[in-house]
Structure 1
Amino acid sequence: MELRKRSLTRQIDIDNSKYKSKKQKKNFSKIKSQIEDLSGEIWFELFAYFDGQSLINSFSKLNTSIESLLNDYRLPIHLNILCSNILIPYPLNSNQIISLKIDYSHINNNQIIDISSFVRLRSLSFISINDQQLERISKYSLNNLCQISIESTCAKFIIKIISIYFPNINRMILNSMQKEFLFKTFLHHQIKISQIEKLTLNGRIKLAKLARFWSFVPNLRSFSIINGGVHQCDYWMDEYIISHQKFPSNLSFIHINICDEDMSFSNLERLISKNVRYLIISGSMADDDLDDYLSSTNWIRLMSHCSNKLYRIKLDISSYFDPSDASGLQKTLSKFRKNPFFRNTIIQSKNFLITIKGYIQPT
């Protein structure tokens, strides 16, 4: 009898629960939600995926609520300029612009875009700008500017850009359009101490010039040379400059791309700061140097020269192997794969092109 009573009580509770659930669903179905009910923070998160013009094309004139958000000072805008007629699309305003990209490809060589009104500008990107235009822009007072990207042949004048034009910039990307990065002599009073902390060079630079470069960037923390990279300056080097180079004291991240097939492992070691914590080595080396790059002894020696803060070295390197020595290739691959030091790397060969990818780290 007691068991039957408990069963009936349980069934009543289940029925009541189902009734309440149905009632709640009916109440929810009566609530009409509108797109304007989304909070401003959610809208700002959505707007972050659009540049200024795309934002206006997609969301302007939908309703007054959304249009007021587009004009909100808190909304950061990224704007692209492709012609000499700079026009901020309504309802945006210049105080919202924090990132600006200007393509000078179709702009007169003697003309510059006046960006002095963009007081909140933090990031600036130029394409096909010439040196005269860049010099004139550098005279603008942009106190919040912290990052510059330049994709132009004038980017090869690296010292002028870093130490004269924009010495107060923290982060910089320079793409020299496959031109060699050059060092030009300037008067001492023209050069200011660069505040740059993160620098990416897209192009080629000679080993001796890179050794000279460190003295101009004492605050550098991160350095990358990619899509071109470091080469040895034919078959001679300025031994004195390289042997007396002084790395920035806080340089902890380095990405070196080797673009010259005569870059020996011993010269690669000379490119590495003792304070480095993260190191990336990419590019190609000569088959004569392959054994040195496959030697765990050499990599252990390189690591020992660095501080105990070195976390890992990422490898993405390649080299051609002598096509007439197929058996030697197999021995090389087998020896590398059996070496426990390289357990976190993969070595492959296709048409006698050897590629090594992965990472190594101190034990």
Structure 2
Amino acid sequence: MELRKRSLTRQIDIDNSKYKSKKQKKNFSKIKSQIEDLSGEIWFELFAYFDGQSLINSFSKLNTSIESLLNDYRLPIHLNILCSNILIPYPLNSNQIISLKIDYSHINNNQIIDISSFVRLRSLSFISINDQQLERISKYSLNNLCQISIESTCAKFIIKIISIYFPNINRMILNSMQKEFLFKTFLHHQIKISQIEKLTLNGRIKLAKLARFWSFVPNLRTFSIINGGVHQCDYWMDEYIISHQKFPSNLSFIHINICDEDMSFSNLERLISKNVRYLIISGSMADDDLDDYLSSTNWIRLMSHCSNKLYRIKLDISSYFDPSDASGLQKTLSKFRKNPFFRNTIIQSKNFLITIKGYIQPT
């Protein structure tokens, strides 16, 4: 049998290839990566965790590469202002500011802060602002502005803010600082159709005023009334208004916080739009109304009034039970827990305070 010799040239090529591979690995091990080698996109992701001033304090003057990124138009900046002197820290510029928070607590009542240069501004947040300052700010042309948050007693003038000052805003949070939300009458030509789609009210509002409110927000999709909620002290006086209320056609999410122990279940039903898809009920009710809130029949009736798009009702409600009726309390708890309709909820009692948390769904 003839034996073939292995090609010497091929063996040399293989040996050279192995040598080059080892040399490359050795060279790679000597390469030192630096933080500046990170891509701009990664830096922008990191910068997103800082507000404007913190960003400058942490990264400014480290080197020219990072400083050029801080000045990049693509970098969105969130700026907090705590005094009347607006000073944009170098190397940031006004075109980068997309979110602005102004605390007027230490600013003169007559001081108006000019924000007209922030042409890319999308979100505004005010703390302790007065009505005069708010009116002046509303006159600035901020075409990209889509969200406003107001934490001030002047936030109670809800119609003025939504329909006169900022009718083109899509999302709004109003915290009235524990003041009652008011519905002041304005001339018809002053009121514009509000474009708001998402609204959160932090405070108290009367049942009848809420019924009147819907006509001012025809485009509303999401509504929440929290940390205060709805009460019905003038319910009988305004029965006609409540009976003829017209909900926004696209209102699909509602969070109602009950703050009145006289809020019966039947009146709660009148707060719910037929088009709602997701409903949250929180707050407390009187012990006289507790049985109605624990009745699966009532909840089934409420759901039947809604469209078949209703997905879920989340519950976080409470009520005190008569301390002299301990046996009645145990019967109530046992009956609720055995009801399969409430299988996704938990009912608890501590010192005769009953709490119900969980959710119910249409079958």
TM range, normalised to the smaller chain? over 0.9
Shift of 1:234: 5.3
Instruction: Provide closer, same or farther for how the CA distance between residues 33 and 206 of structure 1 changes in structure 2, counting only shifts above 3 A.
Output: same
| Segments ≥4 residues shifted beyond 6 Å | 1-24
The 2-side partners of 1:116 and 1:279 are apart by 39
Deviation at 1:20, TM superposition (A): 10
User: Hey, what's the Cα distance between the residues in 2 that align with 1:104 and 1:295?
Assistant: 48
SS in 1 for 2:227: strand
Q: Quick one: structure 1 residues 225 and 12, their matched pair in 2 at CA, closer, same or farther if it must change by over 3 Å?
A: farther
What does residue range 124-135 of structure 1 map to in structure 2 within 5 Å? 124-135=124-135
Q: Which runs of 5+ in 1 are unaligned?
A: none
Deviation at 1:192, TM superposition (A): 0.2
- Counterpart CA distance in 2 for 1:319 and 1:82 is 42
* RMSD after superposition: 3.6
- Closer/same/farther in 2, CA of residues 16 and 323 from structure 1, 3 Å limit: farther
SS in 1 for 2:27: helix
1:27-71 Cα shifts (integer Å, max 9, x gaps): 432121111110000000000000000000000000000000000
Deviation at 1:26, TM superposition (A): 3.4
Distance 1:289 1:31, change over 3 A: same
Distance change (3 Å), C-alpha of 1:339 and 1:12: farther
Structure 1 17/111 Cα, relative in aligned 2: closer, same or farther at 3 Å?
same
* Cα 1:22/1:276, change in 2 over 3 Å: farther
Number of residue equivalences: 363
TM-score normalised by the chain length of structure 1: 0.94
SS at match of 1:6: coil
1:19 aligns with 2:36: no
Quote how far apart the aligned CAs of 1:298 are.
0.3
Q: Structure 1: how far apart are the matches of 2:11 and 2:246?
A: 82
- Check 1:44–1:328 CA distance in 2 against 1; reply closer, same or farther (3 A cut): same
Alignment partner of 2:173: what SS? strand
CA distance in 1, matches of 2:25, 2:228: 63
What per-residue deviation string (whole Å, max 9, x for no partner) do you get for residues 163-188 of structure 1?
A: 00000000000000000000000000
Which deviations, in whole Å up to 9, do the C-alpha atoms of 1:285-329 show, x marking residues without a partner?
000000000000000000000000000000000000001111111
Go from structure 1 to structure 2 and tell me whether the alpha carbon gap of 1:222 and 1:2 turns closer, same or farther (over 3 Å shift): farther
Structure 2 CA distance for aligned equivalents of residues 193 and 29 of structure 1: 66
Give the drift of 1:16: 14
CA distance in 1, matches of 2:13, 2:279: 65
Q: 1:235 to 1:140 in 2, by over 3 A?
A: closer
Report Cα offsets for 1:230-284 as digits up to 9, x if no partner.
0012563411000000000000000000000000000000000000000000000
CA contact (8 A) 2:208 2:234 kept: no
Distance 2:54 2:238 in 1: 52
Q: TM-score, normalised by structure 2?
A: 0.94
Shift of 1:17: 14
Residues 199/235 of structure 1: CA separation in 2 closer, same or farther (3 Å cut)? closer
- Residues 204-225 of structure 1, C-alpha deviations (whole Å, 9 max, x = no match): 0000000000000000000000
1:22 CA displacement: 7.6
Extract unaligned runs of 5+ from structure 2. none
* Structure 1 residues 234 and 186, CA gap change in structure 2 (3 angstroms): closer
Cα distance change, pair 30–321 in 1 and its aligned pair in 2 (3 A): same
Q: SS where residue 225 of structure 1 aligns?
A: strand
SS at match of 1:118: coil
Q: CA deviation at 1:112?
A: 1.0
Taking a change above 3 Å as real, the CA distance of residues 33 and 260 of structure 1, as seen in their structure-2 partners, is same
> 1:3 and 1:261, CA in 2 relative to 1: closer, same or farther beyond 3 A?
farther
Q: Structure 1 residues 288, 69: CA separation in 2 closer, same or farther (over 3 Å shift)?
A: same
Inter-CA distance 178–2: structure 2 relative to 1 (3 Å threshold): farther
Q: Percent identity?
A: 100
> Which shifted more, 8-17 or 169-178?
8-17
Secondary structure of the residue that 1:356 maps to in structure 2? strand
Q: Using the alignment, how far apart are the partners of 2:326 and 2:53 within structure 1?
A: 58
Shift in alpha-carbon separation, 1:22–1:232, aligned structure 2, 3 A: farther
- Distance verdict in 2 for CA 1:277–1:191, change over 3 Å: same
Q: 1:4 to 1:94 in 2, by over 3 A?
A: same
